[in-house]
Structure 1
Amino acid sequence: MSYQQPQGWGQPQQPQAPQAPPARRKRNGCLTAFIAVAAFCVVIGVIAAVAGGGKKDSNDKAGTPTASAPAAAPGSQKAATTGQATKPPSKAPAAETKAAAETVTYLVEGSTAEVTYGPAGSSFSGKVPLKVTKPLGTPMYYSITAQLQGGGHVKCSILVNGKVISKAEASGSYNIAMCQISQDFGGDGWVNTNG
């Protein structure tokens, strides 16, 4: 009796071709969506800055600090009634006077443009020509945006204590001149951050 092997058994087989690695998905769709969302947020921010800014009412005193007389110490009334001299105040008022003397000036000149200006966290509106001087505070930055209305030429600049720190120009249809300054990290004053 002869033993037969089933067909295909015992015969050399052809090696199978290696499979190609799975194709990597391109993530261009995610990148495109991210860029579109970022651009949309920037456009909304610009529209909100231009449309949401308004002039502050000059009669609005809610945010304006007022000076008040210091409270009298318990023993100071006796000194005042007896004619004794009281101790002069500390050097704090001198520091306040120095800080109050420092100013920031927003300056815009040229053709018709819508102007938005102010320190970080605020948005004041104005028209060309514009020259506004305010006490210098400690916000993260000060900025001006001047958008032309249909064409022309506009210049903006921000001055600290009369010295120009940032300046920009724009010409043409609806172009924007933008100035911005921020405090130097070394604490040496203000620097142009308009690039």
Structure 2
Amino acid sequence: MSQHDPNQPQWGSQQPGQQPQWGQPGYQAPPQPPKKHTVRNVFIGIGGVFVALIVVGVAVGGGSDKKSDTAKDAPAVSTSKPAVEKADETPAAKPKAKPAEKKKGDVVTFKVWGNAPAGALGPIQTTYGSDSENIEGKGVPMTKTLKVSKDAMYYSVTAQLQGSGDIHCSVSVGGKTKTAHAQGGYNICSAQLSGGLLGGWS
């Protein structure tokens, strides 16, 4: 057996000025280094990226809305050219008013035409007018007009041959016409229109 050297330190003994070793009285374990939270750091990083994307999206979207609002609020600019009135253009001349046409029925027309040679008693004898007046006509052909009277009961024309001839006669008033015919000898051509109670002629 070897002898113990009193100058050598024994296991478990504490030298002056040294920290106590494991197994010695007063020994304290060294502090553990803090654990690294790897998973938490990953989630924090991902969250930060999402927040950044949202902020960028809001900024971009807000800018586009402002542009659209500005475009809507801007007044519309017309590109069409304003109509230019011609200074030299003169107003169109108004058509002249036509003279008032005479209403049918304002006048009565008498006619006698054909072949009526003069005889022993002279030329053809013609009369025309109404129940209140008779006017003598001359020769053939003959056309005469009179104003229509409200009080007239009828209008007529007569023409008598003087030994020979062939004649026609007519009277027209209010759009109505009556005609007659006479031939040879001393025959008479007579046409007449009568006024009705309602103002018509027949």
User: Above 0.5 in TM-score?
Assistant: no
Using structure 2 for the length normalisation, give the TM-score. 0.42
Which of the two has higher C-alpha Rg?
2
* TM-score normalised by L of structure 1: 0.43
